[in-house]
Structure 1
Amino acid sequence: MVPERLSRRVKRVVMANLLVILTVAGVIVGVMIGLGVRNVSLTRTQIIYVGFPGELLIRLLKMIIIPLVVCSLVSGSASLDPKALGKLGGWAMLFFLVTTLISSSIGVVLAFILTPGVDSTKPKVQGMDDDVPASKEVIDSFLDLVR
């Protein structure tokens, strides 16, 4: 009887933490694949094909972020009374303005200190690239339909 109880407990813990377990397993598999592919010389086309599922995942995540944030803000603001909502909105606006001012100031100061592009010796002339655009294949057209 003890092994059945233990197996039920293990199953319950695994089912409760399935997302975490699968996420950690995915990270481990990704690191192993990355380490295995590191020494293999792949062509640019092969890299594009291998990276396609990851590109789709990132695009899907970007696509879902704004609706989630908007729904969260709407549901949060709907549960507040108007006076508290106005006060919270004022604090949010003040926080946004202060952080924007601070980040802009840091950017300007760092640009003056680091002076990016001063030591650049090779000017980039438009239209003088040596790269010839690659011809499009049929698979690229199908991948572009999904992207």
Structure 2
Amino acid sequence: MDDRFKMPKLVLCSLVAVGMFFFAVFGVQTFWSEHVTKDYNKHLTEQVYVDVVVNKNANLVFYKTGCPYCEKGKKAVIETAEKSSYPTFYIDVESEDGQALVKKYQVEKAASLVTIRDGQSQLYLYAAKDKQGKITADKKTIKEALDDSKKEAQ
């Protein structure tokens, strides 16, 4: 075969391989970030507005970037909040708006969860140290706070 056709085929194969590599990496990264390492969702819809403003029902999850308690409880809170029939808002306690809500709901620790039902609020801590001093998500408290099925049946 002629040498002038070998080089372009090699370059083309290399470009295709590099392209496939980048597609695989970014595809895996996108899947990973959307389905494995879930993050706070801040979407607002019409139904959310009705629940919050008219019916006065919502969940407020307070957090602080770098807080070990917040990080340990994050996954459990997000997964449980996704099942809640009420909208969930994630509040950064270090933001200006976050500070206003911290004062309004008397939040003392960043890893706090406030449920608002019919205008009445209740505060929960969603992570704590266990008996061995290890920080863990308080899954029982999270479920108690966000499990709407029991509250709606009452």
State the TM-score bracket (shorter-chain normalisation): under 0.3
Higher RCO (Cα < 8 Å, 6 or more apart): 1
The two structures have a TM-score, normalised by structure 2, of 0.26
Instruction: Name the structure where helix makes up a greater proportion of residues.
Output: 1
The two structures have a TM-score, normalised by structure 1, of 0.27
* Largest Rg, 1 or 2: 1
Instruction: Name the structure where strand makes up a greater proportion of residues.
Output: 2
